[in-house]
Chain A
Amino acid sequence: MFRSPIAWLLGSLLPATMFPAASASAQDLLPKAPPQTAPIVLTNAVLHTVAGPVILGGSLWFLDGTIRAVLAADQKPELPAGSTPIIIDLQGKHVYPGFVSAHTSLGLEEIGMVRQTVDTDEIGEVTPEALALTAVNPDTTAIPVARSNGILAAAVFPRGGLLPGRASVIQLDGWTNADLAVRSDAGPVVSWPARSFGTPRRGRRSETPREDPATAVQKARQQVTDTFTAARAWLKARTADPSIALDVRHLALVPALRGEVPVFVLADQLEQIESAVLWAAEQNLRIVIVGGGEALLCTELLKRHKVPVILEGTHKLPRRDDSPYSEAFELPAQLEKAGVRFCIASGSDFSQERNLPYQAATAIAYGLDPREALAAVTLRAAEILGVGDRLGSLTVGKDATLLICDGDPLELTTKIEQAYVKGRQIDLRNKQTELAKKYRERYRQLDKR
Chain B
Amino acid sequence: MECRAALVLSFLSAAVFCQGPPTNGPRSVDAGWYALVNGSVTTAPGAPARTATIVLRDGVITAVGGPAPDGAQVVDCAGLSIYPGLVEAFLPIDVPALDPATGDLHWNPMVQAQRHALEGEGVAPADREGLRNLGFTTVAIAPSGGILKGTSSVVLLDEPTATERARVVRAVAYELCSLQPNRNGYPGSQMGSIALLRQTLLDAAWYGRCAATTNLAPGLLAKAPQPSATLQALLDHRGLPLWCDSTDELESLRLLQVAAEFERTAVVIGSGMEFRRLAALIASKAPMVLPLQFPEAPDVSTAAAIEQVSLRQLQSWEQAVTNTKRLLDAGATVAWTTARMRDKKTFRTAMREAMACGITADQALAALTTVPSKLLGIDARTGTIEVGKLANLCVVHGDLFDPDAPIRDVWVGGRRHRLEAAKDNGLDGTWALSPWPAADSSATTTLTIDGQQLKLRTGEQDHKTAGVQRTAQTLEFRVESGLHGNTGPAWIRLQREGDGLTGTVRADLERTFPLAGAKAPTPAEKPEKDSKPKAQKQPFVPPALTALPTPLGGYGLLEQPAAKTFAIVGADLWTGDERGILRNGAVLVRDGKIVFAGPREGLPALPPGAETIDATGKQLTPGIIDCHSHTGISRGINEGGEAVTAEVRVEDVIDPDDSNWYRQLAGGVTTVNQLHGSANAIGGQSSTVKVRWGVLDPKQMRVQDAPGGIKFALGENPRRANGSDSNPRYPNTRMGVEGLLRDRFAAAETYRRERAAYETLAPQERAKVLPPRRDLELDALAEVIAGTRRIHCHSYRQDEIFMLCQLAQEYGIRIGTFQHVLEGYKVADAIAKNAIGASSFSDWWAYKFEVYDAIPENGAILRDVGVTVSFNSDSNEHARRLNTEAGKAVKYGNVPANEALWFVTRNPAIQLGIFERTGSLTAGKDADLALWSGDPLSYTSRCEATWVDGRQLFSIEQDRAARTAVTAERQRLIEKALAAGSGTGKKGPDAKDAYWAAEDLTADYCCRDAVGGR
Contact = CB atoms under 8 A, between A and B. Distances in A.
B940 A317 contact: no
A349 B825 CA distance: 23
A411 B963 CA distance: 30
A377 to B, nearest CB: 12
B237 interface: no
Contact of B843 (A111, A271, A354, A449): A354
A365 B1010 contact: no
A220 to B, nearest CB: 16
A356 to B, nearest CB: 12
Contacts of B846: 110-112, 141-142, 349-351
B865 A321 contact: no
Contact of A322 (B310, B849, B880, B884): B310
A443 B828 contact: yes
B937 interface: yes
Given A316-B877, A448-B865, A325 B937 contact: no
B876 interface: yes
B478 interface: no
Interface in A395-416: 410-415
Contacts of B853: 23, 435
Interface string B400-438: 000000000000000000000000000000000000000
A21 B854 CA distance: 13
B939 interface: yes
A63 to B, nearest CB: 33
A142 B861 CA distance: 22
A206 interface: no
Contacts of A439: 825-826, 828, 861
A113 B663 contact: no
Contacts of A145: 845
B890 A322 contact: no
B659 A412 contact: no
Given A113-B1010, A321-B553, A325-B662, A365 B941 contact: yes
Interface string B641-674: 0000000000000000001101100100000000
B663 A325 contact: yes
Interface string A420-449: 000000000000110110011011001011
B887 A412 contact: yes
Interface in B966-1000: 966, 970
Nearest to B304: A271
A438 B841 CA distance: 20
Interface string B297-330: 0000011100111111000000000000000000
B479 to A, nearest CB: 40
A382 to B, nearest CB: 22
Contacts of B861: 436, 439-440, 443
A6 interface: no
A448 B939 contact: no
A364 B940 contact: yes
Contacts of B864: 443, 448-449
B904 to A, nearest CB: 14
Contacts of B694: none
Contact of A270 (B307, B722, B966): B307
Nearest to A435: B855
B884 A114 contact: no
B883 to A, nearest CB: 10
A320 B940 contact: no
A318 interface: yes
A323 B659 CA distance: 10
A351 B866 CA distance: 29
A95 B60 CA distance: 97
A271 B307 CA distance: 10
B942 A324 contact: no
Nearest to B832: A448
A412 B939 CA distance: 7
A161 to B, nearest CB: 20
B655 to A, nearest CB: 12
Nearest to B970: A322
Nearest to B721: A113
Nearest to B556: A322
Name the interface size band of chain A.
35 or more
Contacts of A317: 660, 663, 876-877
A411 B861 CA distance: 22
A346 interface: no
A273 B876 CA distance: 27
B310 to A, nearest CB: 4
Interface in B910-959: 933, 937-942, 959
Given A326-B666, A436-B855, A111 B933 contact: no
Interface string B113-149: 0000000000000000000000000000000000000
A249 interface: no
Contacts of B897: 413
A436 B881 contact: no
B849 A362 contact: no
Nearest to B938: A411
Contacts of B662: 325
Nearest to B825: A439
B304 A269 contact: yes
Nearest to A413: B890
A404 B407 CA distance: 87
Given A317-B877, A322-B310, A410 B855 contact: no
A372 B554 CA distance: 32
B855 A432 contact: yes
Interface string A223-246: 000000000000000000000000
B304 A195 contact: yes
Given A321-B553, A366-B942, A436-B861, A413 B663 contact: no
Interface in A58-81: none
B739 to A, nearest CB: 25
Given A271-B304, A325-B662, A349 B855 contact: no
B711 to A, nearest CB: 21
A201 interface: no
Contacts of B455: none
A358 B891 CA distance: 13
B852 A365 contact: no
Nearest to A446: B829
Interface string A346-373: 0001111011001001101110001000
Contacts of B890: 412-413
Contact of A113 (B843, B849, B854, B856): B849
Interface string B834-859: 00000000011111110011111100
A294 interface: yes
A413 B826 CA distance: 25
Contact of A325 (B845, B852, B855, B880): B880
B555 interface: yes
B821 to A, nearest CB: 13
Contacts of B1010: 113
Contact of B939 (A195, A324, A349, A364): A364
Nearest to A196: B308
B311 A351 contact: no
25 contacts: A111-B846, A113-B849, A113-B1010, A142-B846, A145-B845, A271-B303, A271-B304, A294-B307, A297-B307, A319-B307, A321-B311, A322-B310, A324-B959, A324-B963, A325-B666, A351-B846, A352-B844, A355-B843, A364-B940, A366-B942, A413-B890, A432-B845, A432-B856, A436-B857, A439-B825
Interface of A: 23, 110-114, 141-142, 145, 195, 269-271, 294, 297, 315-326, 349-352, 354-355, 358, 361-362, 364-366, 370, 410-415, 432-433, 435-436, 439-440, 442-443, 446, 448-449
Across the A-B interface, the 10 shortest Cβ-Cβ residue pairs: A322-B554, A361-B939, A351-B846, A271-B304, A322-B311, A412-B887, A432-B855, A113-B848, A436-B857, A325-B663
Given A195-B304, A358-B939, A362-B881, 17 more contacts: A111-B849, A111-B852, A112-B846, A141-B852, A269-B307, A270-B303, A271-B303, A271-B304, A317-B876, A318-B663, A321-B553, A322-B554, A322-B555, A351-B847, A361-B939, A365-B940, A412-B938
